[in-house]
Amino acid sequence: MSWKIPAGNTNAMNALQIDDQTMRARALIDQAAALAPSLDERAAATEAAGQMLGETIDDLRSAGFTRLCQPRKSGGAELPMDAAAEVIAALAQGCGSTAWVASVFTDHSILTGMFSAQTAEDIWGANPLALISAGYHPTSMVERTEGGWRVSGKWEFVSGCDHADWFILGSFMPLEDGGQEHAFFIVPRADIAIEDNWQVLGMQGTGSKNITVQSSIVPEHRMLTMAEANAGAEGRARTGGEVETRPLYRLEHLPTVPFLFTATGLGIAESLLARSIAHIAGAQSRGKAIAEYPTMQMHIAEAAAEIDAARLLVMRDCRDAMDAMAEARPMTVMEQARARRDHGYATRLCQNAVDRLFAAAGARGMFDSHFAQRKFRDMRAVSTHISQNWDRSGTAYGAAAFGLDTF
């Protein structure tokens, strides 16, 4: 269920639980908004470092922003998706790179919650503050060993890897019929080597570097197939032992969790709009207030409408997904397709708004010192992520509408 208290809730105990969750969510959103100015001040240094600064990771950990969707029994807040997206968007108003890393740590907490209870104990039992990075795209084939799997290979775009304690790695798993299946394997930091290759246009502070594993033995309980991650709790009985069935960990992963990444772009766009309005309100050109130009007024109006529409899509879809999970029902094919569509379309709307506002800044926007420049680059980087790509997500919805296979 979403973190908003639903109208007409007459169950007293349930209402108290929801109210407690609402207060936790509101407090975290407010804390994120309060931290945003400090993150903005560190943004240039974060880019220069090519990774999260140590003090920023400390701030995220101490405030609970790295445990937004970690199971409560493992020391996390277990926020529903819409509340977590609100926190990420608030962080992005200060620094896009910081919000992105917080969003991937949150994504990985949700996915880890879909593994067996023993996996959660392995990772968070001794250290509830443990951070999890990931390389989802499979690049190699694992080998079966006694009691588990031997994992090796190379993975790209592993955001936040410099600060992670564990890594979820996608690989192909051999099947008895000679085929293969995409699966996730969780390995410890000790088995990881990091390549310093993250020299990019935008999101420079995410440290989304390449990593390699020579050989890591992963026990059976720290493996989950992609199909299981996208099948809800009912599809994960194979893992053995206790399987987490609370709503957040029933989510079909692929169509829903990427809204956390969309929220980063949303926060970037919202902050650029606010700063653009404040700047334009006090600026003049050739003796005339820029705010009096109808073209500038239209730029602001169009950008604001696009951003508002993006926020409405993100929050509606997150709440609808959480409501379905609270009802213990799987999302329909069209619900999943709509969610995938809206990752891309909301990001497209934010991209359009940021492009419009960057153009409104004129030639001054090109300077490194201008507030619009980094946000323009970071928004571009968000839109390149596979889950945020409009061509891919739009065609997936169109195929589903015609009854064709989309996944």
Q: For the residues of 345-402, what is the DSSP string, one character each? A: HHHHHHHHHHHHHHHHTGGGGGSTTSHHHHHHHHHHHHHHSGGG-HHHHHHHHHHHHT
Percent of the chain with pLDDT over 70: 92
What does pLDDT average to over the chain?
Answer: 92
pLDDT given for residue 82 in this prediction: 97
CA neighbor of 379 nearest in space, from 342, 348, 400, 336: 348
- Is 291 contained in some domain? yes
pLDDT given for residue 239 in this prediction: 45
- Give, for 229, the enclosing helix (H) or strand (E): helix 226-229
Which range marks the domain in which residue 366 is found?
253-401
What DSSP character marks residue 115?
S
pLDDT band at 240 (very low <50, low <70, confident <90, very high): very low
pLDDT given for residue 245 in this prediction: 76
- Is 342 contained in some domain? yes
- Is 385 contained in some domain? yes
Checking if the pLDDT of 13 tops 50, the result is no
- Is 307 contained in some domain? yes
Count CA atoms closer than 13 A to 90's CA, side-chain side. 19
Q: pTM of the predicted model, to two decimals?
A: 0.94
Asked if residues 329 and 251 have their Cβ atoms less than 8 Å apart, the reply is no
- How many structural domains does the chain have? 1
Checking if the pLDDT of 3 tops 70, the result is no
pLDDT tens per residue, range 59-76? 999 999 999 999 999 999
pLDDT band at 5 (very low <50, low <70, confident <90, very high): very low
- Is 314 contained in some domain? yes
pLDDT given for residue 7 in this prediction: 43
Give the position of tokens 């020391």: 75
pLDDT given for residue 156 in this prediction: 98
Backbone φ and ψ for 154, nearest 5 degrees, come out as -130, 140
pLDDT tens per residue, range 88-125? 999 999 999 999 999 999 999 999 999 999 999 999 99
Checking if the pLDDT of 216 tops 70, the result is yes
pLDDT given for residue 72 in this prediction: 94
CATH code, domain carrying 285: 1.20.140.10
- Is 47 contained in some domain? no
Between the alpha carbon of residue 66 and those of residues 27, 136, 169, 208, 312, the distances in Å are 15, 19, 19, 17, 25
- Is 41 contained in some domain? no
Per-residue pLDDT averaged across 318-338, rounded?
A: 93
- Is 264 contained in some domain? yes
